Structures are given as C-alpha cells and as structure tokens.
Structure 1
Amino acid sequence: MKKTLKISLIVLGSLLALTLLLNIGFSLWLKYKLPDYLKNKTPYEISYQSLNVEILSGSISANQIKVKTKQPDDLEGVALDGTLEDLYISRLGLVKLLKDNQIEANSIKLKNPNLKIRLSKPKVDKVAKEATPFFIKNIEIENGNLDVTQFNGTKYFSSRKLNLNIKNLSLNDNPSELPFALDSYKITANDFFFLMSPAYSINSSKVVTNNGQLSINDFELKPMLDFKDWEKSFKNQKSLFHIKSKNLSFDDLIFSKTKLSLKNAKIQEPEFIIQNRDNKIVKSNDKKSNFNIDFQNLDIVNGKLSILKSNGNQSLSLAQFNANIKDFLMDEETSKSKIPFTYQDYKITGKKFFYDAGEYYTMNLSTFNMTPQNIDLLNFKLNPKISRAEFVRMIPMEDDLFDISANRIQLSGLKWKFENDKPNISLKTVKLHQVDANIFRSKIPKDNPKEKLLYSKLLRTIKFPLVVENLNLIQSKLVYEEDKPDSNGPGKVFFTDFNMNVKNLNSNKQKGANTKVPIVINCKFMGVSPMKVNWNFDTGNMRDQFTIGGYINNLPANDINPFIKPYMNITATGTITSLNYDFKGNNDIMNGKFRITHKDLKVSVLDKDTKEKKKFLSAIANLVVKKDSQKFPESVDIYVERNKERSFFNFYWKGIEDGLKKSLLVIKI
C-alpha cells in the first residue's frame, strides 16, 4: 500500500513539474520571440520602450507604446494609429492570439491611450457569424482619448479624458437579450459619442459615476438621418425619435443578460421629439424580447414633448410636464398582458397640452394632473379648425360641428383592469365645471341615413364593462343651432346655469348589476326661464324604453321665436307662465301629456318662403288662442313616431313641438 502511494505521488509530482517546466519554457520563448512576432506577424508597426512578460502569472506589460497600421488603405483589418503610455494584460490567451487573432484575457489596463481606430469592413460572403474579436472580463482605461470609425469613415465612438473600470464583462449574441452583462462599472468621460445603430447616436458632454450613481450631462439621442432619408431606409419603423436632456442620473444601475435595473432615475429638462410616418409600416420579423426592465423610481422634471406628422406639423405637444413613476416592471410575465408592464404608482402633471384631433378639430388643455385614481384637467377646449361654411362644404352628409370648452374636468375614484383582453373601467365621480358647448348642424347637406341610436343602446354598444357612479355637469351652457336652407338664419335653443346629475352610467356588461340610469337636469331655458327635466332609461332594456318629463316656468314667448320660427313658421308674444310635459317612449314612438298656461299670448303666422306675417291667418289663429290662462288648462295628448335617422333630442323636440301646435294652434292652418 505504501509502495503504491509512493509511486502515485512520484507520477503526480512529475506531471506537475513537467507542466511547470513547459509553462516556464513557453513563457521564456514568448518573452524573447514576442517582439519578433509583433514586428513581422501583425499588420501594425509597434514600438515600445520596454516589454515585460511575467512568467508565473502569464501577464504582459509594456510602456511608451506607439502603434501604426502598416497598410492603412487595407479595409479587411482593424487600423490603429496612436500611443499608449502603459499597457498591462493579465492571463492572455496566447494560443487564441497566435492561432485565431482573438484576444482573450482576464483583464487589460490602458494608461493615457491616444488612439484612432478604424474598424474592418464586414465580410459580405461570410457563412457563419464571425467570432467576437476580443473577450476581456475586466477593462480599465485611464485618461484615454479614443476615436473609433467604421471602415467607411463614419464616426462610431469617441471620448475625451475617458476613465473606465469594468468588472466581469460578458458579451451576448442573443438578439432577444441585452448585448452585455457586467458586475460593476465606473466611468468618467468628456465629449462622449456612440453610434448605437445606423439610425441613432448617443451624445453627452460629460459622463461620470460617483458612489454608485451614473450622471450624464447634455444627453442626446440624435437621429443620424433627416426624416425623408430615414423614411426610405427604415420601412419597418413607424417613428423617428430625437431626445435631449440636460442631465440623466441613475442609482444602482445593474446590467445582466436578461435584466436592466435601476433606482432613483432622474431625467432633467428632457425634450422628446417624435415624428411619425403616414403610410403603413412593413411588419418586422424581430423576435420577442426576453429581458426585464425594472425602474424602482423614475422622475422626469420639466420635460417637453412634441409629436410631429410626416410633414413636420404638430400632432401633439406638451410645453412642460413632470412625471414620477414608482416600481415600473416589464418582464416576460407582464408582456403577456394587454398592458405589457406594471407599476405601483405614478403622478403626471403638465401645462399647455395641444392635440390635433383630426380633420375638423384641435384640443387644448392649460394644465392637467393625473394619478392612477384621479385625473384633473383645467381649461379644456375642443375647437373647430374651420368655419361653419367651410364645414358644410366639406361634409358629404349631415353632421354636427362642435365648439366645446370646460373650465375644469375632474375624474375621481378611477379603477381599471384588463379581463379577457378587454378593459374594465369604473369611476366614482366625473365632474365637468362651466362647460360651454355649442352644437351646430346644417340641413343643407343631404341626410345621413345611418340610424342614430338612443342612449341606452349607444351605451350597450360599448364592448367592455364601464360604470360611472355619478356624472355631474355644473354651471354650464349648452347651445344647439340648426340651419335650414329655407330659413333666415339658424334655429337656436340654449340653456344656461345648466346643472345635470347622471347616476349609474353603464354599458350593461356586468352580470346582475343595476342598469337603470336616472338623470336630473336643472337649468334656465333660453337664459331666463327655470327648467327642470327628469329623464330615465335602462341600458338593460332591449326595447330602449325611456321616460322624460319636466317643466319650464315664466317663459317669454319672444325667447322661443328663434327656434319655432324656422320649424313652425310662427312667432309669438306674451308669456308662457308654465309648460309641463310627461312623455314615455321607446325606439319607435313617444306619447304622453303636454300642457301650458299663458298670459297675453299672441301668435303670428308666417309665410313659409318669405317669412312675412300672414295677417288674415294670424287673426284667425289668435281667435282660438286663449289670451289669458290663469288656471291650469286641460292637457293635450302628444304622439310622435321616431325618425331613426335623427337623434334622441330631435325625437324629444318633436314631442314638445307637437304639444305646442296642439296647444297654441287648435285649428290646422
């Protein structure tokens, strides 16, 4: 047994001694032959003051190095031109270097490098992907000035006063993951430039790390092409981006092959400019990304945003905004959802928001404030781009032109989620303060034959659950004008001091839930007469049944002339002391009771074409109109059939009109 152990130890010792002798021999050979190899076997002229090979560690160091490419016009290899004060390489993979021209080392340190590097021309006819020309786990650069260009002279990378320390770097060829990972890094650099793709470069006046924080001054993600050239060259991309920021800073920035993580990111005074192409993009075949993004806290301070059309005109702009997002996460699991990320909380505020809302409108906000539960908008405006006359000429058939403003819009108690790829939205309260809405319709274009849905059915067409517990319109003004080709100016009706409460506004998509929608309106009709409306419908009722009733008091007859004149060809004087109605209907018909009391009421019957007073018919009409009605008169029955090419409010007005005709004009004129 002792003899066997002795023999084993002798054999093992001999092998170790042989390995050590071979390593020492190879290192001695390298020490004396490397200068000759560098001079005769490489494409560079290399000189140095001293060269040292450490036999036991396998490390190489040199100082006062000068390097220059022997054939600078040869684009097949990497061209070098410059100097290094000191170079240190540890654990160099000599076999890879001598056999495959690949640099593999544990670490490399360059002191005061002043280098111009031109990359080699890619091989067009290559079958397999070329191996990475270097693999170094730890890289240190001290006070470097580097300029790297592509084979065609295009700037690729440059930096002044570069100090870099990277630990445990690993490269990654998987396009669905991050291109590299590392354990830690430190960097300071001036005048930093990096060509990240043929379309974009990254620029910065200064990059520095301090106590784990990375700070980037005068950051710019800059397009390398103007929009027209980019549009031709990148047909599978929809948008061209240009991003600037006075300063970017990050804490605990972590890179791995599958994760980008940071804490306390802060972006100061950024400007985001996005220009979109008009035509459809060609679908890309890029594989889905597998890496995660995790921002624990992200702040954007005094940002600006512009989204441009392809012609350079503004599509959307935001003069100033601030944002804070907490615990943002995008990973493989969240990417399966309709919204491919999650967050814990956010707050966004902004000023001077503008949006080009299509062919006819622009939208503006003076300020806004958004959190996950609440949205607050100030000075909302939806304004026409064109005049009424231009609108009438442009539309192929009847349509409404809106001019709407609101001092404030508040949404509170907002909850939303996705279920079965559909949103589920609920709101506690929506408040619209001091809305001023003008709705204009011309009867000159041809009729729109499309059916106008009643509101119960219109809400049912929403394909996802939606519930608004309370919607309030506060101290508002609504104006409706309708212009007929045979009338002198538009018929007009308006409501001031308009207050409305709608409860349980819903889309009938929640099983077993209450679907009834009660609406109460208090306002002044034509700006002077108190008016109240009670309106009820049920989104769960397939016949779209509804009830609507109310009253108007102390209405000067002159105030309704702007609307009854174009439609009934009459005008009136005197006072309607009360007007009461109680209607019920469905998608086909409406009926109910209508009654008025009046004082000193007289009517004038007008010629349909000239709008001149017909004296004889007016006299006859006034014979049958009760001039004074102190006590409540007997009601009249109204009945109207719905024209489904007209809106609910047209249907509603037809009921009022029928009641007025039967009350004011007992005989048919």
Structure 2
Amino acid sequence: MQKKHKILSVVLVFILVIIVGFFVAQWKIGKKIEQALSEFPNHIQMSYSNLEVNILLGNVDLKSSKWKVYGKTTGELITQGHIGQISIENLSYWDCLFNEKIAVETLLIQNPVIKYVQNNKVKQADFEQKTWGSLTQKVELGEVLVSKADVLVVKKDNDSLLFSSPNVNLKVDGLKFHKNENKPVEFDGFSVDAKNIKYALNDYDDVFVDSLSVTKTASFLNNVKIKTKFDKAAFSQVVETERDHVDIHFKSVSVTGQDLKLLNSSVVGINAERVSVDKPHFEIYRDKLVADDLEPKPLYGKMLRNLKFNLGIDTLNINQGAIVYSEKVKKDNGAGRINFTNFNATIANLGNSYSSDTETLIEVNTDFMEGSPLQVQWHFKVQDSTDRFVFKADLGHITAASMNSFSEPNLNTRFNGELYQTFFTIDGNPKLSSIDLKIKYDNFKVSMLKEDGWEKKKFLSGLINWFISNDSKENEDGYRYGHAEQVERDKTKSVFNFIWLSIRSGLRSAIANDGEKEN
C-alpha cells in the first residue's frame, strides 16, 4: 500500500512538473515573442493591445496591432495601418529549432486597414531588395488568409488616390520566402476577391469595378467603368494636347484558361485561352480645337510587340457592344457624331508571345450609323517588323444623309442619296497604303455649307456635283470601282485616321469613275 502511494506521488509530481513546465515554457516563449516584436528595425513601428500564445497547439494571436513603416533612406512614411487580429496556427517548433526554417500551417490576418504611399522615386528593385534581402531564415506558410481588408494606395507627391477597395479578401496557398535567392517569393495558388474598387488609370481617367474575383486560372470582373475625371469643357482646359474624353462601361469581363507568370511582385506574363467582354458601351469625345499631339503613333502590331511583358490571349470576344464617337472641329458648331451598335468582335492570337508566322485576326460584325450592316476583317503579324496589315470591309445599305451628323458640323458638308453596297480592301504599312474599292449607289449629291452650317454654297456645290457621277448605273454590274496607291499616312494620328484617308482616296476614285473593274 505504501508502495502504491509512493508511485502515485511520483506521478503527481511528474504531472505537476509538466504543468508548471508548460506554463513556464509558454511564459518564456511569450516573452521571447514580445521581445522579438519590440526589436523591429527603426524604420518599422508597431504596437498591439494583447498577445496570446498556446505552445501546445503552436498558435499565436496578436490583437489590435498598429503599424507604421518608414523609408530607410528617405525617412518618410510608406505604409501605415491597423490590424484587428493576426493569428498563427500550428507553428512547427521542430523546424524552428533544427531546420532553420519558420513553418506555419495558417496565417490569418483579420480586418486590416492599410494605407500605402507610393513614391515613384523608389525603384521597385531597390524596394524588393530591402524587403526580402534581410531574410535570415526560410519561411513557409501553408496558407495565408487576409479577411475584409480595407486598402488605400495614394501618390506621395499630392496624396491623390491611386487605388482603393474597402473589402478585399485574399488567400495564398503554399507561400514560401527564400533567403538570398534570385526568386525570393513562391506560391502554389491564390485567390482574390474585392468590391467597390477605384483605380487611377492615369492622371485623367479612373477605373471603377463593382466586384472582382481572381485566381491563378480565371478572373471575373462585374460592372466595370472607365471615366474621365473632368467634364468635357474642363478636360479641354487641363490637357496640353488633344486626348480622348471617355465614358466606358462593361457589364462584365471574364477570363478563362488564365496563366499569370509572376516574378516576385511583378507580372511578367499573361496568357489566357479566352477573354469575354459583355455589353461594352463606349462614349468617346475628342476636342480637335486643343493642340495636336504630334508624337508618332505606332500601329497596333508594334505596340503589342514592344510590351514590357509577355501577352498571349488566344481568343477575345466582344459581345453586344456600342460605340459612340464625337469630334468637335469648329468652335461654333456642335460635335460631329458617328456610332456603331450591335457591335460584336472576335480577336484571335492577341499578344506578343506567338510565333513569327502567327497572324492576329480581328473580325467585326456591327451596325454603322444605326442600321447599316458592317463586316470587317483585319489581320497582321505582331512579330513582323514591317508592320504590314490588311483591312477589309463590307458595308451594306446606308442612307448618305445618316452621315451628316458627323460631316455637317465638322466638314460643313451635307450628303444625300443611297449607298447600297461598299466593299474595300486596304493593304498598308506604317507609311503608305493602297486601296481597291467598289461601290453601288444612286442619286448621290454633295452640298457644301456656309459657316453657319445651314445655307448651301450653291455654286461650289453645283460645281462638285458636275464633276462626280451621281449613280453607279453606267457599269454593267451596277458598281463603280476605285483604286488608289501611295496613300500617305500621318504618323502623328492613329491607324483609324490612316484607314479613313485610304477610304477617302478610294471613294474619290470610284465617284470620278477612274478605277478599273477587278479581274
């Protein structure tokens, strides 16, 4: 009996030692964590309300922490924020003690409110070196969860908003930080959900997104808007050279078969099997009274070729869109206006990551000026340094008067008559183009208007109509043929201006009846 009591006493003492040891170890580890939290570099300031440690489960909870991060060299505030709770679950003591590695099953960051100040003077490479270069151990996180983050990014120079979203949720799987390696950050997968996003696209335009969801393989954006920050009159006063005033809306944008290639925090490649843009509506206004932008405008092939990252979108679909383009040329007149409705387009092989023989092909089906069916085929090779392109179009029946909403205020020209069918093919490069065109029309007349836009210049109008053929019935097939070569491009204007110059040359040839019928 006495022996049993001795054994029981030893067991009780052993249990007591374990319990006391547990609390002592937990107290010591808690103190060590507190000490570590107090020993951040001078440019990082942090405070918190409470620290809870459970060494049995390997859990650590840091509650109500406040953070401020200053630039090492500038001493200026870079980031500040408040985090409701930071939780570490299942910290591996074995890895910490024997493998020189911090391994955590889950890192949970709840309700962070973060403000980041972007300083363009700080180079991204320098920032990454300062961020990751000081790592002394490898860090592996099974999953990182950021819940209900309120994120604000502002520009240092004027505190203007660059990005904001009051509700961001992030999950990263298999996140690894390596010390002293060229690729310090790796992860297996991620997902981001955000709502009520505002992003400064540039100094003049903002992007708004109601909701966004992104994973490594797919993305979905709902209710996207791109808007110029100023009204039209104010915009003309703030820009030094002419620029589009935009009001653009996409009902949704979806990306499938997505593959994002990342190097540290930078995107170096974007590939996707399909991108679909549903019900886009474009309102574009250009004030031509503002000084011309005389910078050379590259064609789209060169723009894609010179992207700073790899892009490869196998198919881009635009569904049920609308485009309204307005252009103000004369001070006392309203803006001329053209529009496309029921706009559907497919773009194949969009990007710079395809082989030299691969063509980018754009096919468009739309209604021009409310009711005239228009089909377009446009193709070029991005890797072709000559930037040769072919642009074909088939325009159905259109009343000439429907073009007066653009021609009267901008050109002081009024058209009448019926254009039954127009076909043309433009073969161009960055300097010159040639065009073959055929058109079937009837009772076509041109009226040149006085500066008030109402009264007709009778003599000039009569002279012009005397020189042109007012119908195409003379030819056996009912078409007139136009041809022009060496149409010179104005390199300070867009490719669409070049296409218009080519069409104009072809129309002049056809109406003057000096083109030849195709063989």
- Scaled by the length of structure 2, the TM-score of the pair is 0.81
Q: Which residue matches 1:398?
A: 242
Distance in structure 2 (CA, Å) of the matches to 1:168 and 1:568: 79
Q: Which residue matches 2:434?
A: 591
Contact 1:642/1:651 (<8 A) preserved? yes
Distance in structure 1 (CA, Å) of the matches to 2:45 and 2:432: 64
Q: Which residue matches 1:242?
A: 81
RMSD between aligned residues: 3.7
Q: Which residue matches 1:490?
A: 335
C-alpha deviation, 1:464, in angstroms: 4.4
SS at match of 2:460: helix
Identity %: 22
Give the one of 498, 503, 508 matched to 2:348. Answer: 503
Q: Which residue matches 1:352?
A: 196
What code does the residue aligned with 2:105 have? K
Give the one of 135, 156, 173 matched to 1:289. Answer: 135
C-alpha deviation, 1:331, in angstroms: 1.0
Distance in structure 2 (CA, Å) of the matches to 1:313 and 1:585: 43
Residue 573 and residue 532 in structure 1: after superposition, are their counterparts in 2 closer, same or farther (change >3 A)? same
Contact 2:480/2:513 (<8 A) preserved? no
Q: Which residue matches 2:167?
A: 320
Is 1:439 aligned to residue 284 of structure 2?
A: yes
Residue 166 and residue 555 in structure 1: after superposition, are their counterparts in 2 closer, same or farther (change >3 A)? same
Distance in structure 2 (CA, Å) of the matches to 1:620 and 1:441: 32
Contact 1:195/1:201 (<8 A) preserved? no
Is 1:532 aligned to residue 375 of structure 2?
A: yes
Distance in structure 2 (CA, Å) of the matches to 1:487 and 1:554: 32
C-alpha deviation, 1:360, in angstroms: 0.7
Q: Write the deviation string for residues 345-382 of structure 1: whole angstroms up to 9, x where unpaired.
A: 11111111111333211111001111111111111111
C-alpha deviation, 1:480, in angstroms: 2.4
Q: Write the deviation string for residues 217-262 of structure 1: whole angstroms up to 9, x where unpaired.
A: 7422244xxx9xx78x9724551221222x4333212463843321
Distance in structure 2 (CA, Å) of the matches to 1:234 and 1:582: 60
Q: Which residue matches 1:83?
A: none
Q: Which residue matches 1:265?
A: 107
Contact 2:259/2:270 (<8 A) preserved? yes
Q: Which residue matches 1:647?
A: 494
Distance in structure 2 (CA, Å) of the matches to 1:451 and 1:376: 35
Unaligned runs of 5+ in 1: 1-89, 91-108, 110-137, 142-162, 172-177, 181-192
What code does the residue aligned with 1:523 have? T
Is 1:252 aligned to residue 90 of structure 2?
A: yes
Unaligned runs of 5+ in 2: 1-16, 515-519
C-alpha deviation, 1:215, in angstroms: 5.5
Q: Write the deviation string for residues 380-432 of structure 1: whole angstroms up to 9, x where unpaired.
A: 1111111222222222223333332211112222224369x993432211211
Q: Which residue matches 1:298?
A: 144
Give the one of 21, 24, 28 matched to 1:166. Answer: 28
Distance in structure 2 (CA, Å) of the matches to 1:609 and 1:641: 32
Is 1:603 aligned to residue 449 of structure 2?
A: no
C-alpha deviation, 1:620, in angstroms: 4.4
Residue 585 and residue 435 in structure 1: after superposition, are their counterparts in 2 closer, same or farther (change >3 A)? same
Contact 1:262/1:295 (<8 A) preserved? yes
Residue 542 and residue 608 in structure 1: after superposition, are their counterparts in 2 closer, same or farther (change >3 A)? farther
Distance in structure 1 (CA, Å) of the matches to 2:104 and 2:306: 44
C-alpha deviation, 1:532, in angstroms: 0.2
C-alpha deviation, 1:265, in angstroms: 2.7
Give the one of 145, 150, 153 matched to 1:307. Answer: 153
Residue 608 and residue 595 in structure 1: after superposition, are their counterparts in 2 closer, same or farther (change >3 A)? farther
Write the mapping of 1:612-627 to structure 2, written as runs, cut at 5 A.
612-622=455-465, 624-626=468-470
Q: Which residue matches 2:218?
A: 374
C-alpha deviation, 1:319, in angstroms: 2.0
C-alpha deviation, 1:201, in angstroms: 2.8
What code does the residue aligned with 2:225 have? K
Q: Which residue matches 2:506?
A: 659
Distance in structure 1 (CA, Å) of the matches to 2:193 and 2:153: 18
Residue 564 and residue 590 in structure 1: after superposition, are their counterparts in 2 closer, same or farther (change >3 A)? farther
Distance in structure 1 (CA, Å) of the matches to 2:306 and 2:439: 38
Give the one of 269, 272, 277 matched to 1:427. Answer: 272
Contact 2:481/2:509 (<8 A) preserved? no
SS at match of 2:187: coil
Contact 1:293/1:330 (<8 A) preserved? yes
Residue 315 and residue 535 in structure 1: after superposition, are their counterparts in 2 closer, same or farther (change >3 A)? closer
Q: Which residue matches 1:634?
A: 480
Give the one of 52, 63, 77 matched to 1:207. Answer: 52
Give the one of 235, 257, 263 matched to 1:413. Answer: 257
Write the mapping of 1:80-95 to structure 2, written as runs, cut at 5 A.
none
Distance in structure 2 (CA, Å) of the matches to 1:210 and 1:336: 34
Write the mapping of 1:467-482 to structure 2, written as runs, cut at 5 A.
467-482=312-327
Distance in structure 1 (CA, Å) of the matches to 2:480 and 2:159: 66
Distance in structure 2 (CA, Å) of the matches to 1:417 and 1:234: 31
Distance in structure 1 (CA, Å) of the matches to 2:454 and 2:170: 60
Write the mapping of 1:8-47 to structure 2, written as runs, cut at 5 A.
none
Q: Which residue matches 2:228?
A: 384
C-alpha deviation, 1:618, in angstroms: 2.8
C-alpha deviation, 1:462, in angstroms: 2.1
Structure exhibiting the larger radius of gyration computed from Cα positions: 1
Residue 577 and residue 345 in structure 1: after superposition, are their counterparts in 2 closer, same or farther (change >3 A)? same
What code does the residue aligned with 2:329 have? K
Residue 654 and residue 609 in structure 1: after superposition, are their counterparts in 2 closer, same or farther (change >3 A)? farther
Write the mapping of 1:21-170 to structure 2, written as runs, cut at 5 A.
164-166=26-28
Distance in structure 1 (CA, Å) of the matches to 2:267 and 2:220: 25
Contact 2:26/2:55 (<8 A) preserved? no
Q: Which residue matches 2:419?
A: 576
SS at match of 2:52: strand
Give the one of 251, 256, 276 matched to 2:117. Answer: 276
Is 1:555 aligned to residue 398 of structure 2?
A: yes
Q: Write the deviation string for residues 149-182 of structure 1: whole angstroms up to 9, x where unpaired.
A: xxxxxxxxxxxxxx943369989xxxxxx986xx
Aligned residues: 481
C-alpha deviation, 1:556, in angstroms: 2.0
SS at match of 1:290: coil
Distance in structure 2 (CA, Å) of the matches to 1:275 and 1:416: 24
SS at match of 1:426: strand
Residue 451 and residue 139 in structure 1: after superposition, are their counterparts in 2 closer, same or farther (change >3 A)? same
